[in-house]
Amino acid sequence: MQTTIRSAITFQGVGLHSGRPARLTIRPASAEHGIWFKRTDIRLGDTLVPARWDAVEITPLCTRIVNRAGAQVSTIEHVMAALAGCGVHNALVEIDGPEVPILDGSAAPFVRGILSRGVRALTAPVRAIEVLEPVEVTTAAGWARLSPARPGQGLTMQFHIDFPDAAIGTQDKGLNLANGAFVRELCDSRTFCRQSDVDTMQANGLALGGTYENAVVVDGDQVLSPGGLRHADEAVRHKMLDALGDLYTAGAPILGHYEGHKAGHAITNMLLQELFAKPGAFRLRACDDITAAQLPGVGVAREEIPAVA
Q: Which residues are annotated as a binding site for Zn(2+)?
A: 78, 238, 242
Specify the residue, 5 or 241, whose C-beta has the smaller distance to Zn ion.
Answer: 241
Catalytic residue among 89, 160, 257, 265: 265
To the query of whether residue 89 is one of the catalytic residues in this protein, the response is: no
> Helix crossing, 234-247 with 265-277: angle to 10°?
40
> Quick check: 47 and 38 in contact, CB under 8 A?
yes
Minimum separation from the CB atom of position 229 to Zn ion (A): 15
Specify the residue, 3 or 191, whose C-beta has the smaller distance to Zn ion.
Answer: 191
Output the known binding site: 78, 238, 242
What's the length of the chain? 309
> Considering CB under 5 A, how many residues would be counted as binding Zn ion?
2
Minimum separation from the CB atom of position 61 to Zn ion (A): 9
Specify the residue, 2 or 269, whose C-beta has the smaller distance to Zn ion.
Answer: 269
Choose the stretch contacting Zn ion; rule: CB under 5 A; options: 107-115, 186-194, 201-209, 289-297.
186-194
> Kind of pairing, strands 282-286 and 254-261?
unpaired
Specify the residue, 185 or 242, whose C-beta has the smaller distance to Zn ion.
Answer: 242
CA separation for the pair 277, 264 (Å, rounded): 20
Q: Which of 248, 254, 257 is nearest to 285 (CA)?
A: 254
Minimum separation from the CB atom of position 77 to Zn ion (A): 5
- Residues 136-175, one symbol each (x = binds Zn ion by CB under 5 A, - = not), give ----------------------------------------
- Residues 233-262, one symbol each (x = binds Zn ion by CB under 5 A, - = not), give ---------x--------------------
Choose the stretch contacting Zn ion; rule: CB under 5 A; options: 5-13, 110-118, 191-199, 276-284.
191-199
> Quick check: 100 and 107 in contact, CB under 8 A?
no
Specify the residue, 98 or 105, whose C-beta has the smaller distance to Zn ion.
Answer: 105
Minimum separation from the CB atom of position 268 to Zn ion (A): 11
Contact with Zn ion (CB under 5 A) among 189, 191, 249, 269? 191
Contact status: 67 vs Zn ion (CB under 5 A): no
Choose the stretch contacting Zn ion; rule: CB under 5 A; options: 41-49, 189-197, 198-206, 255-263.
189-197
Minimum separation from the CB atom of position 78 to Zn ion (A): 6
Binding site for Zn ion (CB under 5 A): 191, 242
Active site residue ranges? 265
